Structures are given as C-alpha cells and as structure tokens.
Amino acid sequence: MERKQTEASGRGNRQRIVMCAETIRTRIAPSPTGAPHIGTAYIALFNYAFAKRHGGEFILRIEDTDQVRSTRASENDILEALEWTGLSWDEGPDKGGDHGPYRQSERLDIYRKHVDRLIASGHAYPCFCSSERLSELRNEQMAAKQEFIGYDGTCSMLDPQEARRRIEAGEPHVVRLKSPADGDCVINDRLREEIRIPWQTIDDQILMKADGFPTYHLANVVDDHLMAITHVIRGEEWISSAPKHVLLYQAFGWTPPMFVHLPLLRNPDKSKLSKRKNPTSILYYRQAGFLPEAVLNYLGLMAYSPADGQEEFTLEQMVATFDLDRVSLGGPIFDILKLRNFNGRYLRALTPEQLYERIKSWMLNDDTWQRVMPIAQPRLEQMTDLVPMSAFLFADRLAYDPELLVGTTGDGDRTARLLQTAQWEFEGLGDWTVERIKDVFMRMSETEDLKLKKLMPLFFIALAGSKVALPVFDSMVVLGKDMCLRRLQYALDSLATVDVTLKGKALKRFTKEYEGRYGRRN
C-alpha cells in the first residue's frame, strides 16, 4: 500500500519524501445470505463516517464463503440497498480497486496459500474429524455441563507424516488454527478498556473448510490485511472471536488493525435485532416510504451523539464532525416510532416539487402503473375504481381483522402456521416473479392438501387486505419481497389479539414439522 508519497516543495524543484499518516481504510463486509440487514447499514454508516472524517477510504467486500447459503440474488440486493442509503464505497466488487477481487469466493487461491503458510510454520494443522463426531462431542460437553465447549484437539496430536499421507489419499479434512493453552489474549478495543480473554476458552478454530473454502475468521483476517484495512469497525457480537483474529495476525507476523466494537441494535425486548420482532431488511424501509437520509440520520443517532447536541444531521454533517470518542456502549433499541418521526421531518422539509420527485422515484410512477393496468382493467367500471382498488399496493401495514384472517381456515393455529410457512417459503425464494411465487403457493397447496382456491383467501387478506382484490401474485411482485414478508408478519402479529401465537416451544415444534414436510430452511 501507499504509505509514502512524493511531494514537490513549493520553491525549487527539490523533491522530498514525506511520511504521511497512514491512510485510514475501513470496510463493510456483508455476507450475501439473505435480505440486506438494517444492522449492516448501521455498521456501514459508522465505517463510512469514520473513514471520511479522516480523509480515508471506505471499502465494500462480499463475504460469500458459505457456498450453501450465499446467493447472487442476495448480493445484488445488498448492493442495491447500500446504494440506496447513499453510503458510497470507494472500492468494491462492482467498482474494482487496487486491492481486489472484492468477493471472497474469487480469492480462494490467496487463502489456500496463506493457510499453507500457517501449516508450514506449525500454527495450523489438518483435522480429519467428521461433523458427526464434532456434534456428538459438543452434545456430550453440553450434557456434562463442562466448562469448556469446543474442539478437543484430537488431530493436533497427529503425526504430520501420517496427516500428509491421509491428505494425499484424498481423505476429507479441514484445517485448524492451534490455540495457546494458557494465558490471556489481550484485545485493544478503541472504545473500551483492554479486553482480556483466557486462551483456555478458545478452541482450535477451523480456518479452511472441507470444501476448500475459508471460514470467516481466516478470510476476514487475510483480506483486512491485504486490503490495508486500518480500523475494523464491527458489531460487538465479534468480541468473543476476536482472539482468533488476533492469533492469526500474530501467526502471520502482521500488525492487527484497530478494533472498534459497536453495540448491537436491539429489539424492544433488548435482544439482538431480529426479523421476527422487527423489520430488518433495508429494502423494506425503502418500500415502506422511508427516505434514506432519514434512515441514516436515525441510525446515526444509535450509539452516537454529536458534540453540538444537534439531532438532525445530514450524512455530510455527520462526516464533518464524527468522533469515535462520542460513541456510547449501551445496546440501543431500534425504535420505529422515532424513525417515523424523523422521516416525517425530512418529508415535510422538502418543497412540494421535491416531494413529488421523491414520491415518483419511490413507486408512484409509470413503471408501477403499467404493471397495475393489466390487472386492474378487467375489474373497472368507473375510472374512480382504480385508486381505491390499488391502494394496498402503496401501503405499509394494512388494517387487519384477525377474525377475518382466522375465518379463512376456521382455525387460529392453522392460520398462523400457514402464514408462517409462507413466510419461510418466500424468504428462500431467489427470483421474485409471478411464476416463482405461484410455484410456492402450488407447492403449499399440495403439501397442505388444500386446494389453491381454499388456500388463497388467507393470503389475499394478509397481503392485499381483502378477500377480493387485484390478483395477488402480480400484486406481490409490485410490493416486492420484503414488503410481502413484512405483511405476512403483520398478519401473524395481529393474530395475537385473538390469542393465537406461534412462538417459543410451539414455534420450535412447528419448525421441525415444517422442515419435515418442506425440507430444511436456511
């Protein structure tokens, strides 16, 4: 990386080498395994603000090392969502840059080389234990209420010659990082006192999976180093695995970056923000009519307050004064009510012309109407029918009558289960098209042994607010996946008012049942 730069002095032509302060580089590294999470925007915002405050660079890296769950559809959504927020990255998979590629699945040779280095230096070793053995081991440890839960180090005792022979024989294996037996790992966190974690509690982490892909820990450390990341600003959920990262930097002989662990966004019940209890997809917020600048402003208020006490600020203003020392550590509850208030302020601050432009670029435009016309036309008697008929397409939460929802199946629990099943089924759907949506309902109809005609009324009400409405598959395309998932959740939540709930043990039981009939969910 460029740490020196030449500079012509004003007078004369003498060139002198000046040592510049290292360029600050931060990154957001989402994993493309689902909807773009609002927490990603929150962490990205702080990374962006910090880097830009110091004239640095902000990088986007895609962490797609989970071959099973990563999808290109999710990656596209994440890029689209992040772009919508207005947090622009200097380097990334779509932009390129001097430190690419920025998609981890395209860097496999780099990880391979690095893991070989660790094996050669004795910091890592191949492990032949099967997944079955490991989960058995874990269960035993749990059952015995052992202090230590984790890998027992069996394969670290293997003779290297023997190990090589087994690898050459094609035996499947992973590579593990050797963890020290005693002492403490010291982590320097920019926001906290020294964090000390006993090495005894850290097991030999897998670095390379049997499929030849790296795990997060390896890929993340190698990339952060190679991409010259100076500050790793991430959620505090990572504190407990930080020792593994520190150990890797040591093993490679690299200087670790500065760690900055931000508090996690929470649900109203204080648990980590989850889609079950809150909308978490950035694209939902876009569809629900929030302005990105309001979302960013609100997110900026989580765990941070500017020195001047001003609550309303643009991204530029936040960047201009951002100060890590003003980050607070208590886990903030994500309060949609306050976000809504902020959004209202931003909406009202626009001129009517600006507002109209924003609303057009949101969804009140030709593109939407052209999709609506073909499905609305056959149902029109007067032109005045159009807007009332399509209103649900431009709404967020609909007014649900739980009795009506339950009435479609005649059974509360059954209703909840169907809604939940649909939610799970649609969550995993990649292409959001009429055909694929229809496939899902057909499959449900078959699995539930319920004619489509009997199955659909529930979903007409949940998604469109009425048993009689525009065709629901087409409507779902207009609404977008995240809004549809949200509506299903709203409907599910509304059932609670008639004492129908699907959570805790019942939910667990139903999850098993669902997986038995529909296959494992992601």
Partner RNA sequence: GCGCCCAUCGUCUAGUGGUCAGGACACCAGGUUUUCAUCCUGGUAACCGGAGUUCGAUUCUCCGUGGGCGCGCCA
DSSP 227: T
Q: Do the beta carbons of residue 369 and residue 394 sit within 8 Å?
A: no
**What DSSP state is assigned to residue 37?**
B
Q: How far is the CB of 114 from RNA (least distance, A)?
A: 16
Q: 351: buried, middle or exposed (CB in 10 Å: 19+, 13-18, 0-12)?
A: exposed
CB of 29 to RNA, least distance (A): 6
Q: Least distance to RNA from the beta carbon of 424, Å?
A: 16
Using the minimum distance from each CB to RNA, give the nearer residue, 335 or 413.
335
| Strand 57-60 relative to strand 25-28, pairing | parallel
CA distance readout (Å), 139 to 145, 383, 509: 10, 65, 20
Find the shortest distance in angstroms from Cβ 334 to RNA.
8
Which of residues 11 and 270 has its CB atom nearest to RNA in the complex?
270
> Looking at 52, 244, 275, 481, which residue is catalytic?
275
Minimum distance of RNA from residue 362's CB (angstroms)? 19
The least CB distance from residue 477 to RNA, in Å, is 29
Looking at this protein, which amino acid is placed at residue 353?
A: E
Length of the chain: 522
Residues 6 or more apart whose Cβ sits within 8 Å of residue 468: 460
Q: Residue 161, exposed/middle/buried by CB under 10 A (0-12, 13-18, 19+)?
A: exposed
Rounded Cα distance, 264 and 303, in Å: 9
Tokens 């010291």: give the residue.
186
DSSP-assigned states of every residue in 248-268: HHHHHT-PPPEEEEEPPPB-T
d(CA 441, CA 337): 34
Catalytic: 275?
yes
Distance CA 74, CA 91 (A): 19
In whole angstroms, what is the distance from residue 478 CA to residue 372 CA?
8
Q: How far is the CB of 183 from RNA (least distance, A)?
A: 12
The nearer residue to RNA, 184 or 493, going by C-beta atoms, is 184
Q: Which is nearer to RNA, 192 or 371 (CB)?
A: 192
For RNA, which is the closer residue by CB, 196 or 451?
A: 196
Q: Where does residue 444 rank: exposed (0-12), middle (13-18), buried (19+ CB within 10 A)?
A: buried
Nearer to RNA, 301 or 484 (CB): 301
Strand partners, 6: 17
CB of 189 to RNA, least distance (A): 8
Distance from C-alpha of 440 to C-alpha of 453, rounded to nearest angstrom = 14
CB 57 within 8 A of CB 24: yes
Nearer to RNA, 195 or 395 (CB): 195
CB-CB contact of 122 with 131 (8 Å)? no
Nearer to RNA, 208 or 419 (CB): 208
Do the beta carbons of residue 281 and residue 212 sit within 8 Å?
no
Q: How far apart are the first and last CA of the chain?
A: 39
Q: Between 366-376 and 472-479, two packed helices, what is the crossing angle to 10 degrees?
A: 170
Catalytic positions, please?
275
